[in-house]
Amino acid sequence: MAATVGALGLDAAAADLETPEVLAAIVRRAASFLCPITPGALARSVGECLDGLVANDQPETRSSLVGAMLEDLVAYGDLVEAPIEDDRSGVSRRLLFLAQPSYVPLPSGTCLIVGIRADGLPIDDGSLDDRIGYYNHARRVTLGSNEEPADVLGGIGLRELSEQQWLHRPQAVEAAALVKQYSVQLAAAGPSGSVEGVRILDPTTPVTYYRGRWRAPAHRDTGEFIGRRPIQFGADQWCYCDFDDGEVTRLVDLPAVDRLGRGCDEAWRLQAAIDAVAGTPQHLRVRPGRIAGEVILQFQSPIPSWGQRRLDALGQPLGRQPGSLFAYRLSDDLIDQELAFLEETMWLQVQQEGEA
């Protein structure tokens, strides 16, 4: 196992196959050989590679960890998810592609490294091996005061991706306005006909347990719901559904605003708006870090990729934490602006440690 970790460019003395940074490297390497590929097929391939190699080898746990890391790498920008139409069947499915190896210069003097080279080739030529920092799914390089990113990183074939390009996000709107936007699209959709196997996100359930919010429709369900429905190829399709007595009457597949975007990004933002309008906004827990001057943000619901990227740029991803889906470590001097950003764009309710 130590040899495997070392071959991935990581310190075998400080990491093993269950370390998030190692899992991220394994997923990147598998993708470098297998892309283009569906997300499900890539996750299964990585899971099979890990079979019997990790201590916590329950298939459900392993699948969950791999799936979560794959989501993080897509959101971060190492992989690009795009819809592709099959020429023979005419059916559209979403495939993963390798993102072009790039760097994102940040005001702090560090650069984020994104993208994957094909065929298992390393991201650098070896000159940066001891300078690349690995933090969960993210990779950073700290440059010297006299070093230019274009010389150091451009010199090894990485293209510059501006912070503005990488952090592109939708325009901020009121929660009620966003819900209305999707409701108008849904009302304009034609009758859906029978939709089998759909699952819905119940807006009446506690916002503190995301997985527990999903269920099968019941006869009492009438109104609009975020849902996922099975499709012939690939992962279940994200959608926004209108129900009448437990039956789907209309639906709009997501993404509906940006066809090249991710369905989950639109769904998660829309659900946050629905929760806010209902008076039960999603929570963001804030607690002091172990080191003075650091703060930990704990999220109990997923956020769109543009929100994650902003946190990747400003903080350090910590992955899953007890009582939360994921967490980030931020400097205390950044916390006010980031809480304001998350309250404005995702309508989150901030809870300081110790608050009910």
Residue type, 13: A
The tens digit of pLDDT for each residue in 318-344 reads 988 888 999 999 999 999 999 999 999
Of 246, 276, 306, which one is at a domain's C-terminal end? 276
Same domain, 148 and 180: no
Q: Which of 276, 300, 334 is the last residue of a domain?
A: 276
Both 188 and 268 in one domain: the answer is yes
- 268/311 same-domain check: no
Q: What is the CATH number of the domain that holds 308?
A: 3.30.780
Shared domain for 127 and 192, answered yes or no, is: no
Q: Which domain holds residue 232?
A: 175-276
The answer to whether residues 113 and 92 belong to one domain is no
Among 98, 113, 129, the domain-final residue is 98
Q: What is the mean pLDDT of each run of 10 residues along the chain (356 residues)?
A: 54 62 94 95 90 61 84 96 76 89 93 97 87 94 90 94 92 96 95 91 96 96 96 87 95 91 96 98 94 94 96 93 92 94 96 68
The H or E element spanning position 23 is helix 20-34
| Residue 94 and residue 15 in one domain | yes
- DSSP code string of 187-239: HHSPP-----S-EEE-TTS-TT-SGGGEE---TT--EEEEEEE--SSSSPEEE
pLDDT score at 320: 86
Residues 213-246 have pLDDT tens digits of 999 999 999 999 999 999 877 789 999 999 999 9
pLDDT of 274: 98
Task: For residue 20, give the CATH number of its domain.
Answer: 1.10.10
The per-residue pLDDT for 349 is 96
pLDDT given for residue 288 in this prediction: 93
Residues 120 and 206 in one domain: no
What is the Cβ-side half-sphere exposure of residue 69, based on CA atoms within 13 angstroms? 28
Residues 33 and 79 in one domain: yes
Rounded CA-CA distance 37/55 in Å is 28
State the total domains in the chain: 4
